[in-house]
Amino acid sequence: NAGVMQNPRHLVRRRGQEARLRCSPMKGHSHVYWYRQLPEEGLKFMVYLQKENIIDESGMPKERFSAEFPKEGPSILRIQQVVRGDSAAYFCASSQTPGENTEAFFGQGTRLTVV
């Protein structure tokens, strides 16, 4: 009964390259959330997805960032043309039902370093 799986754990990209972060939710969970943690900061909500749908992307930067959660396969957070400021830990969480009275289970995160 695996938990939320994120890969890779560490990702190094040069400025201008693309970064792809993957998240497989817990079995039976159809709600996925992406968070970003900058140094010395708490986790900041980025996007909430259900299968094939983006429910809330209010925390996503308007440019270069996109997310998907296809019918088959993991959720992907994609960052195009990365810049140094994108360096952070990106965490994915999943839950069985949205919001109320349920906790989200987190993956171990992907640490993105832009050089």
Complex with other proteins: residue 14 or 101, whichever CB lies closer = 101
Complex with other proteins: residue 6 or 24, whichever CB lies closer = 6
CB of 31 to other proteins, least distance (A): 8
Q: Which helix (H) or strand (E) holds 9?
A: none
Q: Footprint of other proteins on residues 9-68 (CB under 8 A)?
A: 33, 35, 40-48, 55-56, 58-59
For residues 47 and 23, give the distance between their C-alpha atoms in angstroms, rounded to a whole number. 13
Angstrom CA distances, 111 to 34, 73, 86, 100, 102, stand at 13, 21, 10, 29, 26
Residues found near other proteins in the complex (CB under 8 A): 4, 6, 33, 35, 40-48, 55-56, 58-59, 91, 98-101, 103-109, 111
